Each structure stands twice: as C-alpha cells, then as structure tokens.
Amino acid sequence: MSYLENIGTRGALVLFTVGLKLKGKTDHIAVEAEDALIAALKVKTQQPEAVITYVRQQNRRGDARHPSHALVENAH
C-alpha cells in the first residue's frame, strides 16, 4: 500500500503545533491535520510570508502551560 493510499484509509486527524516567525516575532499555531507536512502547508497557505520553524504533535502538559491559538481556516 502506498503512502497516499494509507492516508486515505487512516483518515485520523492529529493536533500539531506549528511554530513560525512572522515580521520578526515568533508564534505557534494549533492545526488539525493528517501529518506534520500537511499541518505546515496549511499554515503556509494562510500566512505565505511566515517562516515555519518547527512542527510537532501537541502534548497536553506542555501545551496546557503555553497554549497556542487555532488556525483560522476561512479568513476571507
């Protein structure tokens, strides 16, 4: 089974934290996606001028202390 076929059968969405730098300031955004690459691309399409610095799965303990905001899907 290829990678793309495997994603289609899995379909499970995971919460990722995407770190970015925008206009000299750092930020992190919570994104629900199938994998880390898709999470990074979702952020990049919403904010093309941002530099993606990291992508990781969210964890309860660390993200409870430093909550991130969610990606706005339809900001038009």
User: pTM of the full predicted structure?
Assistant: 0.70
Structure tokens at 9: 């059968």
What's the rounded Cα separation, in Å, for the pair 28 and 54? 9
Name the more confident of 66 and 59: 59
Q: For the domain covering 12-70, report its CATH number.
A: 3.10.20
Average pLDDT, the chain: 81
What's the rounded Cα separation, in Å, for the pair 42 and 36? 10
CB atoms near residue 36 (< 10 Å): 16
Any idea what DSSP says for residue 34? S
pLDDT digits (tens, 9 = 90+) for 9-45: 556 899 999 999 999 999 999 999 999 999 999 999 9
Q: Are 43 and 50 in contact (CB under 8 A)?
A: yes
- Using DSSP, state whether 27 is helix, strand or coil: strand
